[in-house]
Structure 1
Amino acid sequence: MTPDQWLQALRTGIAAVAATPPEHLGREALSCPGWTARDVVAHLGGVHRWAVGVVVGQKIPYTDVDPDAPAGEAVIGWYADRADTLVSALISKDLDTPTKSPFGERPVRFWYRRQANEVAVHRWDIQHAYRGWDADPIDAALAADGISEWSELFTPRRIGRDGGTPEDLLGARILLHANDAGGSWLLRADAEGIGIVEDDAEPDATITASTSDLLLALWHRVPLSHLTVDGDVARVERVLDLVRI
């Protein structure tokens, strides 16, 4: 995806979060245990504020749920203001301006991608709280990008922190097959991550679902029981459990 596409996806996701019906803010966000829909909105607003600080060069502490977020329906307007500030900060900078990140130095364009994917998954969390499995799917192109981002950024960071991949999972292969957009990704677990590879080896299992559900399964939002899994389900679960945030 291009920065313009990420920016459009970010704006679309922001608008969807800001359209959350106030009467549903107290609903339990089952995909984010311990949080309500309101807490997810407050989390996103805090993430946006932190990202703005990174982009403009100000140190802002990161918190899971922003303590400044108001209670009740006022959180929606508060979130919209935080999101507007994020978009303004992003477009005010050259795409190649270097910034800090949890993944080392990255250009501003990195934050277009990261925030678009962050909002996409949490928008789904919020809608899932009050619409269940009728929550709108993540756009297929953005979900495909999110699968790549999950592999590139989060698997080495999380697996590296947690002591590496168990020896018996080294070389484990999972084929993700999208039944909507036709994409496929062969995941292979190595010592420090789960990479997307191209080889002819037989996968331990194939997961078939929409691109959105594949991404949401990687992030432990959609259980494997809701998808079509051919092969060693237990091995798949162990590989995916290596990456939990």
Structure 2
Amino acid sequence: MIHLVDVVQAGVAAGEQVDEGLAVVPPAIAADGVDEVFGVFLPRMMARGFAPVVTRQVGVRATDTGDEWTLSPVQQGDRQRVERGRAVGEAVLSGTAAEIELCLWKRLPGSVLRVDGDASVASDFLAGRATP
């Protein structure tokens, strides 16, 4: 899915408004992609020696699918703790599943997401490397 968005974003002619690629991502597929980032890519990045992305508890809420996740900090080398079904933390990020997915892959700026709670916790999380 992320590569399809890359193609859509790359196909914009010079001087035209950038196509965010959101229209090509069905919500259920995007929510599955967010799950994949949290369950596969975050642990993989930590195993490769990247600093933990989750340093304080963060909630993530997909407003279009109803999916919710809570990510809690872990020690370097431990598997990322993700709780599905609720979004709580010092910061809770909300947006469509596609917006969340594209922010996690750095294809959209984190500013497209709504933040409830501590904005610095949200920006630290979004600035981290959750994906390669």
Question: TM-score, length-normalised on structure 2?
Answer: 0.76
RMSD, aligned α-carbons: 2.7
Q: 2: CA distance between counterparts of 1:214 and 1:163?
A: 21
Which structure has the highest helix share of the two?
1
Q: 2: CA distance between counterparts of 1:208 and 1:152?
A: 19
Which structure has the highest strand share of the two?
2
SS in 2 for 1:152: helix
Q: Which one of the candidate residues 67, 73, 81 is aligned to 1:195?
A: 81
1:124 aligns with 2:8: no
AA in 2 matched with 1:207: L
AA in 2 matched with 1:228: R
Q: Percent identity?
A: 26
Q: CA deviation at 1:164?
A: 4.9
Structure 2 unmatched runs, 5+: none
- Name the counterpart of 2:66: 182
Larger Rg: 1
Q: Which one of the candidate residues 8, 28, 35 is aligned to 1:148?
A: 35
Q: CA deviation at 1:200?
A: 7.9
Q: CA deviation at 1:178?
A: 1.4
Structure 1 unmatched runs, 5+: 1-119
Instruction: List aligned pairs for 1:9-48, cutoff 5 A.
Output: none
1:133–1:234 CA distance, 2 compared to 1 (3 A): farther
- Name the counterpart of 1:217: 103
Q: CA deviation at 1:121?
A: 0.7
Question: TM-score, length-normalised on structure 1?
Answer: 0.44
1:222–1:200 CA distance, 2 compared to 1 (3 A): closer
Instruction: List aligned pairs for 1:52-201, cutoff 5 A.
Output: 120-129=1-10, 130=12, 132-135=18-21, 136-162=23-49, 164-165=51-52, 169=55, 172-191=56-75, 192-197=78-83
